[in-house]
């Protein structure tokens, strides 16, 4: 384990969120309200106290995000990185290569995390946050080796057994940028797939989350409201 000296976080908030339908015609998905606050507010509040700088990777209606959060938000310096080409999570992270220093945290702007889980994640040199689930059909299923390190990422896995699902939260270091990102479609590069490519020369610890809530569909907004009221209400 490392000392928790992660002072920067990168939040990926560039997508439109087409599965949200008309809800994102006027605002970007990360700004949809949950329990009276924009989703991204909870992203900031879940960050461990050590994090002093936040890089928001934005695109679709990113000016709305910038207007709301400004250059400082709740005591943290905020920077904006514009992702003109929506080329996947690894493509988004590549944009901050010359901006981040040392180890840094990466979060999906759509999802809800708990601070205690991110604190646990930050104790490792390179790590991914996963959650155990028994859902029958999932994408982004993580395979680990006998010591709990990321070995592979599988898509469209059907299983009745408990699996490890990628939550999209990571701790990365500068050596991550030394490897070429993995192509996952004609236009996209995948972050977890790139980490799996580094194995076994550079291992990624898989850390278990206690709770996690993705917010990708209108139905998920209802579940997110319950999640916020139970775990994140302040």
The answer to whether residue 43 scores a pLDDT higher than 80 is yes
What is d(CA 160, CA 37) in angstroms, rounded to the nearest whole number?
36
- Please write the tens of the pLDDT for every residue from 78-116: 999 999 988 999 999 999 999 999 999 999 999 999 999
Packing angle of the helix pair 39-46, 62-69 (nearest 10 deg) = 50
pLDDT category of residue 211 using cuts at 50, 70 and 90: very high
- pLDDT at position 3, please? 58
pLDDT category of residue 156 using cuts at 50, 70 and 90: low
Angle at 40 between CA 36 and CA 174, to 5 degrees: 165
What is d(CA 80, CA 99) in angstroms, rounded to the nearest whole number?
11
Q: 47 near 4, Cβ under 8 Å?
A: no
Candidates 139, 111, 125; CA nearest to 209 is 111
What is d(CA 145, CA 135) in angstroms, rounded to the nearest whole number?
22
- pLDDT at position 10, please? 98
- Please write the tens of the pLDDT for every residue from 194-204: 999 999 999 99
What is d(CA 157, CA 208) in angstroms, rounded to the nearest whole number?
19
Phi (first) and psi of residue 219, to 5 degrees:
-65, -35
What is d(CA 50, CA 42) in angstroms, rounded to the nearest whole number?
16
- pLDDT at position 133, please? 87
Q: Is 58 helix (H, G, I), strand (E, B) or coil?
A: strand
Q: What is the mean pLDDT of residues 171-181?
A: 95
**Bridge partners, residue 166, by sequence:** 130
pTM of the model: 0.95
Q: 150 near 139, Cβ under 8 Å?
A: no
Candidates 15, 40, 7; CA nearest to 112 is 40
- pLDDT at position 96, please? 98
The answer to whether residue 234 scores a pLDDT higher than 80 is no
Each domain of the chain, given as residue ranges in start order, spans 8-232
Q: What tokens were used for 55?
A: 């890089």
The answer to whether residue 65 scores a pLDDT higher than 80 is yes
CA distances 58 to 14, 79, 110, 157, Å, are 4, 10, 12, 30
Q: What is the mean pLDDT of residues 178-203?
A: 95
Number of residues that this document lists for the chain: 234
- Please write the tens of the pLDDT for every residue from 113-153: 999 999 999 999 999 999 998 765 566 899 999 999 999 99
Q: What percent of the chain has pLDDT over 90?
A: 79
CATH 3.40.50.300 fits domain 8-232: no
């Amino acid at each position: 384990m490392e000392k928790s000296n992660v002072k920067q976080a990168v939040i990926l908030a560039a997508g439109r969120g087409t599965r949200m339908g008309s809800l994102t015609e006027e605002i970007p998905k990360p700004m949809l309200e949950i329990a009276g606050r924009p989703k991204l507010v909870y992203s900031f509040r879940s960050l461990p106290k050590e994090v002093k700088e936040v890089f928001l990777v934005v695109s679709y209606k990113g000016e709305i995000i910038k207007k709301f959060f400004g250059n400082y938000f709740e005591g943290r310096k905020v920077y904006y990185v514009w992702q003109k080409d929506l080329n996947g999570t690894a493509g988004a992270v590549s944009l901050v290569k010359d901006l981040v220093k040392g180890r840094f945290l990466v979060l999906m702007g759509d999802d809800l995390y708990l601070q205690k889980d991110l604190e646990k994640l930050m104790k490792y040199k390179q790590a991914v946050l996963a959650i155990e689930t028994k859902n029958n059909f999932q994408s982004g299923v993580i395979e680990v080796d006998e010591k709990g390190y990321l070995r592979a990422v599988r898509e469209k896995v059907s299983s009745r057994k408990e699996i490890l699902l990628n939550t999209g939260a990571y701790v990365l270091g500068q050596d991550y940028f030394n490897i070429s990102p993995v192509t996952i479609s004609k236009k996209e590069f995948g972050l977890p797939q790139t980490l799996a490519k580094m194995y076994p020369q550079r291992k990624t610890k898989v850390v278990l989350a206690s709770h996690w809530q993705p917010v990708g569909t209108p139905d998920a907004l209802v579940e997110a409201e319950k999640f916020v009221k139970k775990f994140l209400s302040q």
